[in-house]
Structure 1
Amino acid sequence: MTHASPSSDDDALLPLDAVRERPAPVPAKVVRGVPEPAAALPVARVVVDTPLPHLDRLFDYVVPAPLDAEAVPGSRVRVRFAGKLVDGFLLERVHSSEHQGKLARLERVISPEPVLTPEIAALARAVADRYAGTMADVLRLAVPPRHARVEAEARAATRPRPEGEAAVAGEGTGASETSASPSPEGGAGGPDASPSWRDRDGAGEPGAWADYPDGERFLAALAGGGAPRAVWTALPGAGDGGPGWAGAVAVAVRETLRSGRGALVVLPDGKDVALADAALSAVLGPGEHVALTADLGPAERYRRWLRVVRGQVRAVVGTRGAAFAPVRDLGLAMVWDDGDDLHAERLAPYPHTREILALRAHQGRTGLLIGGYARTAEATQLVAGGWAGPIVAARETVRGRAPRVRPAGEDSELARDEAARAARLPSLAWRALRAGLTTGPVLVQVPRRGYLPALACQNCRAPARCGHCSGPLALRGGHAAPYCRWCGRIAGEWRCPACGGVRVRAQVVGARRTAEELGRAFPSVPVRTSGKDGVLATVGAAPALVVATPGAEPVAEGGYAAAVLLDGWALLGRPDLRVAEETLRRWMNAAALLRPRAELVVLADSSVLAVQALVRWDPVTHAERELAGRTELGFPPAVRLATLTGSPSAVREMLGEAVLPGEAQVLGPVPLDTLRGDQVRERAMVRVPRGAGPALSAALKGAVGVRSARKAPEVVRVCIDPLDMI
């Protein structure tokens, strides 16, 4: 890492020769008018919050003596940078600087709270390098915004400390210092204390893992202080206690805490966090963990996050932002359903939760658990390479727990019901719904939300388009006028440009229209919907029709009695490299909520490999085939791939400037369908063997830095291993 400091004379950026590595450090020179520097460790190395990629390095500043006590590593500071006051994080303090010129001073310490731990700082650096981004961008994702009132409350709650109690922040990293929360007896909690979770052996006992041949070995490794890495294919079937995965995760967390270490569980959405939160409370007891989600609000989220950074709790469950939670002495990092696109960050540098936790496991002595009902090609790659081991149940156990899957397009059913080939809800599905409603709730999964999200001409079947922007027309309800999904204009006077027709028909049926139709077919049964307009977490055990979009399926008390997966063509027909993997994942996540051996009808061709994998409940073989196919075609995760998106001139310019590895293969650029104003965007792909991945990231990061240094007017979006490659 190169260290430098902005010029104190004119606040201009230093020339390159001023920031090169020096053979030996030199004492810091202080600017005129700056107070006397601190006597010990007078130089602070700061990560400056700047969006400029070519300034992604540490800068050295002098610590004035009045700020000596507050300027602790990990604290937020304010410094003068390029003539402006900007925020930053103080990473470390040292005796001297490698910079030959004068050093500017720290202007002030925003907060003495050490919110950036050395482990998270190292992780942020690794994530930035992995995804060709900047450390400042990663730290915006890793550390929540400061809430001064919450900090003041937390400090008041921790003063005065009893004599001999460990400091709550920044004083040591040993296992005995990771739990400073008081025990019920008033002493300091720690590995030798007896918190409530140690006495809770009845709830979620290791029997939750007894169905997996390697499950108890995994738990024993965690309890013994080991760092096992595993890919876990969870068993389906919901009981009175809800999905079994939540209880199994809670047991794994408890065994990790018994070893004196911390645990971190990252889940796709708030619905899953609520399930895991309840399971952890039952197994660990109240107050032994915190849940971190965005819907908590800034104050409460920061309050809980401070408890983690101060070591007052050692177990964290949350959504993707919790992947950077500063859990002390982390012993287990777990990600559930890593194929869910909610695990992919939408902000630069676009990291994925699975990769963040894998980096944490690699950097420290940390166990890693990647779990889900289905399995991704990326997780299969880790198993195939020997980096992680599989945890799967025996086939006999799987057969006893999995639902009975019947494709509506199977030959025997078509022979009895010729209309089933064209019907949206064939006779087989009707029979399954009727039979299920006699014993409990039934689930209907619909791939599309809304009412009628796509319309066509009644006469010629041409797609109905907006006359103003050519966007697709849709309906919000049975008595509403068509509207444009792009510009929002009402198309009450629409006329088909091909045949002149004025009537429209449904091209795609959404969840709300499906619920309306089912309500008319089953008038005595309540209909519940769960989707974008409102996600249900749970439903009762009484008979009910539950219509949900993928990922929004509520958990039924005792499990669903039956389920129908509608419009399989809508999921399988998408132009996406991961379409088969994603479709199977969505189907399995819904099917796993059924009671063991309950009937499941899927409306899809029985010859499709994803349907066959669902019928056999064999996600492992399907994932291995996916990985083999991608390896043959040269797609991730068999290779490392980067996309460059921007204007045609900017993309070509960056490709010409980047010093790519010798094995790099450039695909494109090709125009994208999306438009911004009158300018068409283009995208190029660069792929290299997996071993050349770090070199590719470094080359692209260097090219972005060069463009930033010369103030190129157009930005090129760089994304490493994106989910949407096709």
Structure 2
Amino acid sequence: MSRRIARVLLDSPLPQLDRLFDYALPAELGDVPLGVRVRVPLRTAGRVIDGYVVEIGTEDDADRPLSEVESVVSEVPVLPERLHTLARRVADRAAGSASDVLRLVIPKRQVRVEKAWTADAPAETPDPDALAVAEGTVGLYEGLGAVLDSGGRAAVEAIPQLVDGLQGWARLLASSAARMLAAGKSSIIVVPDSRDLDRLLAALDALVPTGAVVRHDSRQTNPDRYRGFLRTLEEAPCIVVGNRSAVYSPVVAGMVAIWDDGDPLLGEPLAPYVNARDAALLRQERGRRVLRGAHRTTTGGAVVLLAAG
């Protein structure tokens, strides 16, 4: 007789647990989606631990002793395949564990937020006047538009002066993201600190609908942060803005941009100590490999590193 098997990534910082574990799926749990949170027993420790379902399959060897998944914590797939792949790639590169990376991007579960959430956000785009302004701003930088369209890489020196009362760098990144949003693509913009984030949000407010912007920063309340994370799981494109860990957002990104990529605040002080710039390049590298294999790009997109002029 065959049985269903779930391969689970445990939410544990212990390096010896940084792999997928097989668990039997009891029939009473029904259909278990990939990426959901589950509770599973850890026999060596004699306790129950949280984890994420990464793969589901069947096996004919029903005599192999396996522990069973104890419960499904939530039906929301908080770990899509593209996010697990990115976390695994970053962790392997930095000699760390995937759960350490995931802890930076997946917030603690908020039950009330989850119950109120519906995965059907409307697609929002800039109005024609705002898009014209965005195109004009990007056009000031020769060749940048082509890089954005082709999913390439660019290191850009920002125009230092104010533009309509906004910092030049913030206006450029907001314009690039607005251009992507009009094309139906998401963007991720990473800045070093909260002051830069406020400037960027002001620039975005002048160009794109408020509902298209998703914040990811430590000043948010836990419910707001979880609400924003759930928004990044939806198909409708959005613009994710935040500090260093925003680079791991699970959106299908058409652009990842980093302001002042040499700022030491972009280096993660927690294991595996990955700089946001390196994580951005790794996710683009993965996307290019997928694209060459004639599949849809899932984690790539243009990478723009913007330095102060």
* Same fold by TM-score greater than 0.5: yes
Gaps of 5+ in 1: 1-26, 29-36, 159-167, 169-179, 183-188, 190-194, 375-726
Whole-angstrom CA distance in 1 between matches of 2:210 and 2:11: 38
Classify 1:304/1:200 alpha carbon distance in 2 versus 1 (closer, same or farther; 3 Å).
Answer: farther
Flag the structure with more relative contact order, 1 or 2, with Cα contacts below 8 A and sequence separation at least 6: 2
Whole-angstrom CA distance in 1 between matches of 2:30 and 2:83: 23
Q: How does 1:282-297 map to 2 (within 5 A)?
A: 282-297=206-221
Q: Which amino acid aligns with 2:128?
A: D
- The residue number in structure 1 matching 2:11 is 49
Whole-angstrom CA distance in 1 between matches of 2:110 and 2:80: 18
Q: How does 1:165-314 map to 2 (within 5 A)?
A: 168=119, 180-182=120-122, 189=123, 195-201=124-130, 204-214=133-143, 218-222=144-148, 224=149, 226-314=150-238
Task: Tell me how far 1:232 sits from its aligned partner.
Answer: 0.9
Whole-angstrom CA distance in 2 between matches of 1:68 and 1:91: 17
The reply to whether residue 141 of structure 1 matches residue 64 of structure 2 is no
Whole-angstrom CA distance in 1 between matches of 2:131 and 2:154: 25
Task: Tell me how far 1:221 sits from its aligned partner.
Answer: 4.8
Q: Which amino acid aligns with 1:280?
A: L
SS across alignment from 1:204: helix
- The residue number in structure 1 matching 2:49 is 86
- The residue number in structure 2 matching 1:77 is 38
- The residue number in structure 1 matching 2:302 is 367
Task: Tell me how far 1:98 sits from its aligned partner.
Answer: 8.7
Q: How does 1:539-554 map to 2 (within 5 A)?
A: none
Which structure shows the bigger proportion of residues in helix conformation? Answer: 2
Q: Which amino acid aligns with 2:15?
A: P
- The residue number in structure 2 matching 1:22 is none
Whole-angstrom CA distance in 1 between matches of 2:275 and 2:217: 17
Classify 1:128/1:251 alpha carbon distance in 2 versus 1 (closer, same or farther; 3 Å).
Answer: same
Whole-angstrom CA distance in 1 between matches of 2:194 and 2:38: 33
Task: Tell me how far 1:204 sits from its aligned partner.
Answer: 3.3
- The residue number in structure 2 matching 1:132 is 95
TM-score relative to the length of structure 1: 0.39
The reply to whether residue 63 of structure 1 matches residue 22 of structure 2 is no
Classify 1:373/1:97 alpha carbon distance in 2 versus 1 (closer, same or farther; 3 Å).
Answer: farther
TM-score relative to the length of structure 2: 0.89
SS across alignment from 1:358: helix
Q: How does 1:236-635 map to 2 (within 5 A)?
A: 236-327=160-251, 329-364=252-287, 365-373=300-308
**1:246-279 residue CA offsets vs partner (Å, 9 max, x unmatched):** 1111111122223322111111111111111121
SS across alignment from 1:235: coil
Classify 1:196/1:119 alpha carbon distance in 2 versus 1 (closer, same or farther; 3 Å).
Answer: closer
2:10–2:49 Cα contact (<8 Å) kept: yes
Whole-angstrom CA distance in 1 between matches of 2:116 and 2:64: 42
SS across alignment from 1:283: coil
SS across alignment from 1:326: coil
Q: What is the alpha-carbon root mean square deviation over aligned residues? A: 2.1
**1:288-321 residue CA offsets vs partner (Å, 9 max, x unmatched):** 1112211111111111111111235521111112
Gaps of 5+ in 2: 288-299
SS across alignment from 2:206: helix
Task: Tell me how far 1:97 sits from its aligned partner.
Answer: 7.9
Could you tell which deviates more after superposition, 93-102 or 329-338? 93-102
Kindly name which structure, 1 or 2, has the bigger radius of gyration based on alpha carbons: 1
Whole-angstrom CA distance in 2 between matches of 1:126 and 1:282: 36
1:124–1:142 Cα contact (<8 Å) kept: no
**1:398-419 residue CA offsets vs partner (Å, 9 max, x unmatched):** xxxxxxxxxxxxxxxxxxxxxx
Whole-angstrom CA distance in 2 between matches of 1:59 and 1:367: 35
Classify 1:355/1:97 alpha carbon distance in 2 versus 1 (closer, same or farther; 3 Å).
Answer: farther
Could you tell which deviates more after superposition, 356-365 or 309-318? 309-318
Q: Which amino acid aligns with 2:199?
A: L
Classify 1:102/1:373 alpha carbon distance in 2 versus 1 (closer, same or farther; 3 Å).
Answer: same
**1:219-242 residue CA offsets vs partner (Å, 9 max, x unmatched):** 2453x4x21211111122235422
Task: Tell me how far 1:88 sits from its aligned partner.
Answer: 0.5
Whole-angstrom CA distance in 2 between matches of 1:56 and 1:196: 41
SS across alignment from 2:48: strand
Task: Tell me how far 1:46 sits from its aligned partner.
Answer: 0.2
1:147–1:299 Cα contact (<8 Å) kept: yes
Whole-angstrom CA distance in 1 between matches of 2:278 and 2:152: 17
The reply to whether residue 105 of structure 1 matches residue 34 of structure 2 is no
Q: Percent identity?
A: 37
1:60–1:97 Cα contact (<8 Å) kept: no
2:8–2:23 Cα contact (<8 Å) kept: yes
Classify 1:263/1:66 alpha carbon distance in 2 versus 1 (closer, same or farther; 3 Å).
Answer: same
SS across alignment from 1:111: coil
1:219–1:255 Cα contact (<8 Å) kept: no
Whole-angstrom CA distance in 1 between matches of 2:234 and 2:56: 21
